[in-house]
A and B are shown apart, each in its own frame.
Chain A
Amino acid sequence: MKELRDKRIISALLVEIEKKTRKLQSPIRIMEVCGTHTMTVHRYGLKRLLDKAGVEMISGPGCPVCITPDEFHEAAIELVEENSNFILTTFGDMTRVPTNKGSLQVAVPASGSMVKIVYSPEESLQMARSNPQKAIVFFGVGFETTIPAIALTAYEAYKEGLNNYSVLSALWLIPPPLKAIVEAKDIAIDGLLYPGHVSAIIGKKPYEFIAEKHRIPGAITGFEPSDILLGITSVLDQIKEGKADVSNEYARVVKPEGNLTAQRIMKEKLEVKDASWRGLGLIPQSGLKLKEKYSSFDAEVKYNLNIKAKKRELPGCRCGEVLRGIISPPQCPLFAKKCNPDSPYGPCMVSFEGACLAYYKYRS
């Protein structure tokens, strides 16, 4: 599907967008909720081209590495520094997030312990099978896209009686922070691009309140440059017609009802809890944890971890405001100075999907 990155098609779509915004009061402010969208918007130079076409793109909270607050990272660091014969596994970006206690990358593991980067949660499970003398904790972070896979590993361990495996859950739901952002009204948003792969799991219904109650147009959007522009086109059409909808511009991957098998697995194995997000604070019913039946595979319960929300995170870091779309990364005084990809000060500069990294890497 090379058309999705075809220069001629992208140019034609941008011309269409400009024609549409000319008839509206521009700039039209559209939030791309997902960090993977942020990367596409910047990698292909769309940010600048869209600015010229009358659309201002605002980055949203869809970067799980960024929104996982310090206390989780610090709990993971303590686990591996204080317990021997312990393997802490996680996705690559998670090891570099700086906290007041350092990062997992520079942690000094106790004797026989280590931090291992994995690509799939299943690798952690396999490590537990082949290292029965070690305790394996998977520091599992993710939104609905990743959550079913993480839940399945805990369930598999439960079935196999693999008692040396557990999950440190940093599992976050996308609709609650969107509700928090649109209700807070800190920023004016004319439209939303909904995350394609989260939507592949949850479908379109969980966003409908944004269209119906808050009258904000939106489009479920894929990850190629043409996908992003099609999503924007749909939002502009909705604005022009005076309606608010959840259109599906990624129908090749997203079914309106989502992935029912994945939804069933999440419902069976996990329960909803109130959760604190970096930058957004406590959001009711926005996180997930393993059900009590599986609690011996929940690292927070198993190791009696005291993960409490802190009042203050890294002083000076404005990642929280970036995640809410209140400021854009260059407005942070630390951006590209004290905070850069070689020496990130905050998580939004660490993650491959962090808005600060996207702005830094592809700045003109």
Chain B
Amino acid sequence: MCLGIPAKVVQIDEPNQGKVDYLGTKIKTNLTLLEDVKIGDWVIIHAGFAISKLNEEEARETLSLLREIAEKG
């Protein structure tokens, strides 16, 4: 139920409507819950609404932590 998918914003229409690309499929998305959303942003989509913007710097940090653990193990 709280499933959310990461997708990239590819189109913004007024008011607060847009489209995101998820694995090549364009999905209509409501953007009301996000401020300052731009084309190219990665967002989490839940039940047709974008609920959060992905923080790319934090994502990179998690990935480098994971790689570090894998190398150590």
Contacts and interface: CB of A to CB of B under 8 A. Distances in A.
Interface in B9-59: 30, 32-35, 44, 46-49, 51-52, 54-56, 58-59
Contact of A149 (B1, B48, B55, B56): B48
A120 B49 contact: yes
B52 A200 contact: yes
A253 B41 CA distance: 12
A252 B51 contact: no
Contacts of B54: 252-253
B2 A145 contact: yes
A281 B3 CA distance: 26
A6 B48 contact: no
Interface in A254-294: 254-255, 259, 261-262, 265
Given A9-B66, A16-B69, A253 B44 contact: yes
Interface stretch (A62-70, A205-213, A315-323, A338-346): A62-70
Interface residues of A, number: 54
Contacts of A262: 33, 51
Contact of A259 (B2, B51, B65): B51
A149 B35 CA distance: 15
A63 B3 CA distance: 11
B1 A8 contact: no
A184 interface: no
A91 interface: yes
Contact of B44 (A121, A149, A197, A352): A197
A259 B43 CA distance: 13
A122 B29 CA distance: 10
A253 B55 contact: yes
A4 B59 CA distance: 11
Contacts of B32: 152, 261, 265
A190 interface: no
Contact of A252 (B58, B69, B72): B58
Interface range on chain B (Cβ under 8 Å from partner): 20 to 34
Most buried by A among B2, B30, B66, B70: B2
Nearest to A37: B2
Contacts of B58: 251-252
B1 A35 contact: yes
A12 B72 contact: yes
A12 B72 CA distance: 8
A3 B66 contact: yes
Given A146-B46, A261-B33, A197 B70 contact: no
Given A11-B73, A253-B55, A3 B63 contact: yes
A3 B68 CA distance: 11
Given A145-B51, A252-B59, 20 more contacts: A1-B59, A3-B67, A8-B73, A9-B69, A13-B73, A35-B2, A36-B1, A119-B47, A120-B48, A120-B49, A122-B30, A123-B48, A146-B46, A148-B51, A149-B30, A152-B33, A196-B4, A201-B51, A251-B55, A262-B33
Interface of B: 1-4, 30, 32-35, 44, 46-49, 51-52, 54-56, 58-59, 61-63, 65-67, 69-70, 72-73
7 contacts: A9-B66, A91-B47, A93-B1, A119-B47, A119-B48, A142-B2, A197-B4
